[in-house]
Structure 1
Amino acid sequence: MKHEGPQKGASDPSAAKPGPLFPFLSGRRRRSRILAGLSGKLLLLTVSFVMLAEVLIFVPSIANFRNNWLHDRLTTAGVAASVLAETNTIAPRLQEELLRTTGAVAIALDQGSRRSLIAMDGKVPADIDHVVDMADINPIDSILETFRVLFYHGNGYMRVMGSVSMGHVERVDVVFPTELLHQDMLAFSVRILALSLIISAITAGLVYVTLRAVFVRPLQRLTRSMDHFAEEPEDIARIIKVSGRSDELGDAELRLAAMEEALSRALTQKQRLADLGLAVSKINHDLRNLLASAQLFLERLEHVPDPTVNRLAPKILATLDRAVGYTQAVMSYGKANERPPQRRLIALHRLGSDVSDVLGLAEHAGVCFENRVAKDLEVDADPEQMFRVLLNLSRNALQALEAEKHPAVVRRIVLEAEREGTLVHIRVWDTGPGIPANIRKSLFKAFHSGSKNGGVGLGLAIAAELLKAHGGRIYLDETRPGACFCIDLPDRQTA
């Protein structure tokens, strides 16, 4: 028999010890990035939104400023017109003062059927670029005309007409340089811009400080805690301390703490299993040598002319052969090196009888084994792998029943099966206490044993892996008393 040394997968436990999670995080250089960080983005967004709001306010404000400016000029001209209506004359000095006050170059009035020019600076200009009738003004036109004047470049003039309620004067017609209104609107825009910047700075500062205190700093605390935990995740002292907040960030802290605690436990368990793997590999090596020696002794006993020896020796030798193969089960699990199934048509009843012989159920004083499988039922499976599946299930059932001490308790293991087309349904069930509810979700995961007899929890995991390789599945039937494991095993797919 070929003797093998320690398994390659079971190296020194220090090699399996996980290092820091995400080392690029724990080793990176942290730079101050004001604009690239969340705080800087909040600041820029706040300033941008406040400025956008100010722009939306500025448009009607500048249009209203223009309308008021024009209305003031018409009102001033209307006062002079009312004086003319009473005296029928206006002194040159008063004309000059009126033109200087309004900034106009010509002022005329309309008294029904009579139109009079009451003041003029030189001759009437011919290049009038803008004509505004205050009686026909509307918000849209007012805004459009406002921006035409605001972005105006030139030396043209503007003519404004409007009604006034002063004496017998009905309408006033004023002509003045467009640049005059343009300059006043620019000055108004500068004042609005300065006020907007001040409001934006104050608002953005308050929002920035508030959001940084309420959101950004707690998020930075979460990030620092993650980095700190990633440096040594096995240390439970590095798990984040929950602040007790009642908002979404508090929920995030709770979930992060639970995740870190679960990860810490998992890594600790992984380290322990790595240590266990090293110990098992050493035991495995020595155990295989002992089994090989036992096989050699049995091969000699086969030649002894004793009927009992001749009857039992082949079974013992077959059991030892299986034991030699099973010494690899713990080490091979999870390394994806389980050999593919070599499927054959096998008699399931005979396979169940072999399982009963290996476990000694035929001569067991307290546990009854019932093989209810029809003798002509054949399944398409790997004989050795299917034997391991049934052996693991039956051994678990036997251990559960042997733990029952009350003499009145029925101790029975039943194997039954039936074929449905190309699918074979197999059940292994017992009259034991059943599977605890707290381990049912992880029942087929490695090292999650519910056994009280020192099992490591590999039997069901190996059974599930072998059946998956056959295209089948195993599951727990929770409707039956005791523990009932059901297997669905399909035949091979044919082209």
Structure 2
Amino acid sequence: MLAASSVAKANLGSGIGQNKGVDVQRLRQLVVVGNDKPQRTTEDPPFSKMAQFVVHDLRHHLCAIYANAEFMCSRSENPSDREELFDEIRSAIVCMTDQLDALLLLSKTGSAFHLRRQSLKSIVELATQMVRSHPVAELVNLTSKDMPFIEGHVDGKWLCSAIFNLLLNACQAVRLAPKPWEVVIALQQDLSHVAIRVTDSGPGVPRSIQKSFFQPFVGADHRDGMGLGLPIAECVAREHGGEVCLEESRPGRTSFVLRLPNTR
């Protein structure tokens, strides 16, 4: 969250462009999320669809990396702050590398998903950390609750992407409502399913798009941020035999739930 404040208060590129001769305008183009949309097609082949998903997430990770890098170029004298920022940059780069590897795997094998037993709590925590370092989460009270240790047969990098996008969507939504901006993520299970629930204090999902927001680019021309984030989450859930659904939507409280089969 240190870097999010930096981006909000400073001119983008003020720290980096002065030292290394970096093309600041080009960097702005790379990290501004949502200005350019991929070409629409009637039915995208699997590789094209996954490539769009990867590009979408890479843009967001680049935004967080740029914010952290700019803050590190400031005259901060606190070594612990710089170490925290570096850890966030490293985590973003690892996520980006994992997704590029998945795209390469898809091109070679026809499948982008590799399921293995993993800690769902760790995946949720990583996704939450990634969103906290994104500028859109600045001033958002992002909290976790009900985080028991649960293992699942999942593809960790893609499930992390799904949760990341649900949280990012929630952070974008609350900024359209009065403060305080609240986003809560919870992990729960019953005999048949594991539920990852994201609840926000935003204005709610407009009725006009409630039946279509899992389609690519629905609402992408508006400030609600729903371009590819929700379709990514829904696609990842389906690949795991689960689903994403809108559980509740009203002013002040909206909940999306990602459900997965309980494979314990």
TM-score calculated relative to the size of structure 1: 0.34
Q: Write the letter of the residue equivalent to 1:469.
A: E
Residue 492 of structure 1, CA deviation: 4.2
Check if 1:357 corresponds to 2:129.
yes
Q: Report sequence identity in percent.
A: 25
Q: Write the letter of the residue equivalent to 1:471.
A: G
Name the structure 1 match of 2:255.
Answer: 484
Residue 442 and residue 309 in structure 1: after superposition, are their counterparts in 2 closer, same or farther (change >3 A)? same
Residue 208 of structure 2 aligns to a residue in which SS? helix
Residue 310 of structure 1, CA deviation: 4.5
Alignment partners' CA distance in 2, 1:400 and 1:329: 29
Check if 1:384 corresponds to 2:157.
yes
User: Which deviations, in whole Å up to 9, do the C-alpha atoms of 1:397-441 show, x marking residues without a partner?
Assistant: 11111233x4xx331111112211141122111010111111111
Residue 340 of structure 1 aligns to a residue in which SS? coil
Alignment partners' CA distance in 2, 1:412 and 1:361: 16
Name the structure 2 match of 1:445.
Answer: 215
Alignment partners' CA distance in 2, 1:490 and 1:337: 24
Query: What's the Cα RMSD here?
Result: 4.1
Q: Write the letter of the residue equivalent to 1:462.
A: I
The answer (yes or no) to whether the contact 1:352–1:371 under 8 Å persists in 2 is no
Check if 1:469 corresponds to 2:239.
yes
Residue 483 and residue 307 in structure 1: after superposition, are their counterparts in 2 closer, same or farther (change >3 A)? closer
The answer (yes or no) to whether the contact 1:341–1:470 under 8 Å persists in 2 is no
Alignment partners' CA distance in 2, 1:316 and 1:382: 22
Unaligned runs of 5+ in 2: 1-38, 73-78
Check if 1:342 corresponds to 2:115.
yes
Residue 325 of structure 1, CA deviation: 5.1
* Aligned partner of 1:415 among 177, 185, 190: 185
Residue 394 and residue 468 in structure 1: after superposition, are their counterparts in 2 closer, same or farther (change >3 A)? same
Q: Write the letter of the residue equivalent to 2:92.
A: T
Structure with higher Rg: it is 1
Check if 1:373 corresponds to 2:143.
no
Check if 1:396 corresponds to 2:166.
no
The answer (yes or no) to whether the contact 1:449–1:458 under 8 Å persists in 2 is no
Higher helix fraction: Structure 1 or Structure 2?
1
- Structure with the bigger RCO (C-alpha within 8 Å, sep 6+) is 2
Residue 478 of structure 1 aligns to a residue in which SS? strand
Alignment partners' CA distance in 2, 1:434 and 1:477: 11
Unaligned runs of 5+ in 1: 1-267
The answer (yes or no) to whether the contact 1:362–1:369 under 8 Å persists in 2 is no
Q: Write the letter of the residue equivalent to 2:188.
A: E
Residue 451 of structure 1, CA deviation: 6.4
Alignment partners' CA distance in 2, 1:341 and 1:445: 25
Residue 307 of structure 1, CA deviation: 5.4
Residue 361 of structure 1, CA deviation: 6.5
Alignment partners' CA distance in 2, 1:434 and 1:326: 31
TM-score calculated relative to the size of structure 2: 0.59
